């Protein structure tokens, strides 16, 4: 995750990473997740009037970006006219082929349209704010951190402070983000990765040891294995490797047979307690072998330096 860094002077900003696109925003802004693998859409709203909106389009060839932005500005202009608001819009060409645009009606917006020369993805990203907000400065700061792809074989995922990754051929299958519990599940051909995070760790650990907690929370009704104590991200934790129980294996094998896939019987897991953020983390990977579990744990970041609960 070393190449995903917040702006130099904003160590406590949060990473938003979704379907391979990532950027940093102030800690108290809220990400609104939409799971669409074909067209990434990201919206992040501030407690005030700022909103970040981002959309990507897949493309195979070099595209002319001017029609994309002209059409978009026309729609905004028509909306403003209907509401009898004044509208001004401006598009400027940047030397690297990127287009920068500004528009102003009852709100102010600054954004960019760019096509990545490596993955050819087209990205439209903008920051909107109220008339008295320093929109241009905020937008430039956020958009400077924007990355539209990773080239190390891993897709970063980050939402509500839960930072993890998936190998690039896995897809996001489901997610749940509530204040006390966050989870993301990735899957590929019968193999799956689940990253869980629980808040209020001290409360959870009042009645049991950390080991007992992971035994309770792990999926031990379907697999059998043993927990090995380990230090994970500098914290007390456990690693485990497990096999699905024979009956569960049989069920899994039959299900996969009908899907023409090889069943995945092995489970690698890790769980740890991050006192810095008062959270419990658990990562489980059901697989057929040959996985880089250490790398996954390395990329599941529980705390940033300078970040507290």
Query: Cβ of residue 12: shortest distance to Zn ion, in angstroms?
Result: 15
Cβ neighbours around 173 below 10 Å, total: 14
Q: 247 CB contacts (<8 Å, ≥6 apart)?
A: none
Query: Cβ of residue 118: shortest distance to Zn ion, in angstroms?
Result: 5
Q: Which two tokens stand for residue 190?
A: 């019968």
Half-sphere exposure of 15 (CA within 13 A, CB side): 26
Query: Cβ of residue 114: shortest distance to Zn ion, in angstroms?
Result: 9
Say how many residues touch Zn ion, by CB under 5 A.
10
What would the x/- binding string for Zn ion be over residues 98 to 127, using CB under 5 A? ------------------x-xx--------
Q: Between 116 and 253, whose beta carbon lies closer to Zn ion?
A: 116
Nearest to 137 by CA among 283, 10, 296: 10
Query: Cβ of residue 302: shortest distance to Zn ion, in angstroms?
Result: 3
Q: Between 86 and 118, whose beta carbon lies closer to Zn ion?
A: 118
Query: Cβ of residue 303: shortest distance to Zn ion, in angstroms?
Result: 4
For the segment 133-192, give every residue that binds Zn ion (CB under 5 A). 148-149
For the segment 207-236, give every residue that binds Zn ion (CB under 5 A). 233
Q: Which residues pair with 181 in a beta bridge?
A: 198
3-state secondary structure (DSSP) of residue 230:
strand
For the segment 268-307, give every residue that binds Zn ion (CB under 5 A). 274, 276, 302-303
What would the x/- binding string for Zn ion be over residues 29 to 58, using CB under 5 A? ------------------------------
Query: Cβ of residue 34: shortest distance to Zn ion, in angstroms?
Result: 20
Cβ neighbours around 62 below 10 Å, total: 10
Q: Which two tokens stand for residue 262?
A: 């090889």
Q: Between 167 and 225, whose beta carbon lies closer to Zn ion?
A: 167
Residue 19 touching Zn ion (CB under 5 A): no
Q: Between 107 and 274, whose beta carbon lies closer to Zn ion?
A: 274
Query: Cβ of residue 20: shortest distance to Zn ion, in angstroms?
Result: 8
CA distance to 55, 63, 71, per residue, from 94 (Å) = 20, 15, 19
Q: What string of DSSP letters covers 51-107?
A: EEEEEEE--SS---HHHHHHHHHHHHHHHHHHTT---EEEEEE-TTS-EEEEEESSS
Q: Between 244 and 274, whose beta carbon lies closer to Zn ion?
A: 274
3-state secondary structure (DSSP) of residue 159:
strand
Q: Between 184 and 302, whose beta carbon lies closer to Zn ion?
A: 302
Q: Between 236 and 252, whose beta carbon lies closer to Zn ion?
A: 236
* C-alpha span between 227 and 194 (Å, rounded): 18
CA distance to 21, 79, 95, per residue, from 149 (Å) = 6, 33, 21
Query: Cβ of residue 115: shortest distance to Zn ion, in angstroms?
Result: 9
Positions touching Zn ion (CB under 5 A) are 116, 118-119, 148-149, 233, 274, 276, 302-303
């Amino acid at each position: 995750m070393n190449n995903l860094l917040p702006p130099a002077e904003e160590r406590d900003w949060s990473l938003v990473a979704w379907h391979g696109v990532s950027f940093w925003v102030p800690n108290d802004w809220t990400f609104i997740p939409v799971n669409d693998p074909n067209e990434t859409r990201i919206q992040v709203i501030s407690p005030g009037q700022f909103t970040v909106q981002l959309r990507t389009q897949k493309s195979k060839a070099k595209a002319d970006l001017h029609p994309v932005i002209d059409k978009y500005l026309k729609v905004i202009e028509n909306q403003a006219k209907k509401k009898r608001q004044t509208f001004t819009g401006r598009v400027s060409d940047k030397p690297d082929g990127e287009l920068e645009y500004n528009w102003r009606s009852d709100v102010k917006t600054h954004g960019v349209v760019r096509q990545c020369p490596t993955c050819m993805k087209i990205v439209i990203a903008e920051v909107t704010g109220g008339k008295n907000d320093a929109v241009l400065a905020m937008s430039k700061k956020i958009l400077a951190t924007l990355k539209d792809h990773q080239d190390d074989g891993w897709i970063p995922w980050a939402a509500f402070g839960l930072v993890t990754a998936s190998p690039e051929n896995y897809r996001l299958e489901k997610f749940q983000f509530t204040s006390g519990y966050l989870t993301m599940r990735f899957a590929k051909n019968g193999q799956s990765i689940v990253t869980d995070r629980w808040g209020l760790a001290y409360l959870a650990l009042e009645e049991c040891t950390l080991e007992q907690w992971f035994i309770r929370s792990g999926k031990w009704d379907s697999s059998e294995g043993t927990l090995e104590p380990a230090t994970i991200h500098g914290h007390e934790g456990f690693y485990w490797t497990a096999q699905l129980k024979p009956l569960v294996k049989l069920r899994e094998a039959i299900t996969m047979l009908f899907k023409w896939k090889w069943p995945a019987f092995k489970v690698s897991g890790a769980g740890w307690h991050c006192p810095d953020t008062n959270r419990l983390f658990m990562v489980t990977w059901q697989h057929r072998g040959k996985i880089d579990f250490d790398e996954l744990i390395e990329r599941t970041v529980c705390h940033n330096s300078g970040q507290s609960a």
